[in-house]
Amino acid sequence: MLKNIQGIYSAPHPHWVGNGFPVRSLFSYSDHGKALSPFLLLDHAQPTDFSPADKPRGVGVHPHRGFETVTIVYQGEVEHRDSTGAGGVIGPGDVQWMTAGSGILHEEFHSQAFTKTGGRIEMVQLWVNLPAKDKQAPPGYQTIVAKDIPHVPLAGDAGHLRVIAGAYQNHQGPAHTFTAMDVWDIHLKGGHSVQLASPPSRTLALVVLHGTVLINDAEVVREGQLVQLAREDADVVLESNNDAVVLWLSGEPIEEPVVGYGPFVMNTDAEIRQAFVDFQNGKFGQMHSIAE
């Protein structure tokens, strides 16, 4: 049976994150909290051209606690550093999966090479919640390069699907996750359709980054829109009349309170207050910015 569509939502006007990423926030836990758990937030840094510069543009050192950030680069290069000592440059098709856990400082800038040449940046950043038992997990960082992400042809020459997390058919994504989820990067060819499935126990959101997609022969979802589907039933049919890029987010919900404030997402107000105290007392570590 096909899943029912529960809502289609358009992104608000873009805003800047730092001076390197003009983003549209497709959803956040403040408006879609329970409905999309374990996913908290998704920003799409839409394609933007940057001229060459002497100093990297981006977001300086800032803290996080209680969740994970997932950055998927479509165009350009992004350089990451954090207080665990991890870091590196990711380019088109690459992913960085950072676990803030008990607390981390990090920064994201255009890479040094990209800064010198200029070019086009496009990326997505997804926030993934951690269950209460893992919110104090040690911080960590996974670099997932494009060649390690399964690239699976879709039936009927409809395009391909990249398995970042979870599984599709017999292909397992490389990302380690704390709860069960599928994060798929779907590229559809115009004039084709594909039928996919998500377990009825899971939440499901589809984000159309490019193109126009007909969902379940019922609703057209356009670029910069999010569609939320019911947990009941399993199947979803995607039909694209032009080339499209869709992010598939299916996850086992975390049935716990979500309390967030800025860079921290916990379960109670008291835990948020403690996060600020710990940050101010230097318990998230130390680091110097790339841009210094």
The pLDDT of residue 34: 87
pLDDT band per the 50, 70, 90 thresholds, residue 289: low
What b/e sequence results for 180-214 when a residue is b if at least 16 CB atoms lie within 10 Å of its CB, and e otherwise? Answer: ebbbbbbbbbeebbbbbebeeebbbbbbbbbbbbe
Amino acid at 30: S
Tell me: pLDDT of 286 over 60: yes
For residue 39, what are the β-bridge partners? 128
104-108, 186-190, 213-217, 285-289: lowest mean pLDDT where? 285-289
**Percentage of the residues of the chain whose pLDDT score is greater than 70:** 98
| DSSP characters over 88-129 | EEE-TT-EEEEE-TT-EEEEEEE-HHHHHH-EEEEEEEEEEE
Tell me: pLDDT of 292 over 60: no
- How far does Cα 163 stand from its chain's mean position? 13
Q: List C-alpha distances in Å: 39 to 29, 126, 203, 258, 280.
A: 8, 7, 9, 11, 27
The pLDDT of residue 287: 82
Which DSSP state fits 3?
Answer: P
The pLDDT of residue 16: 96
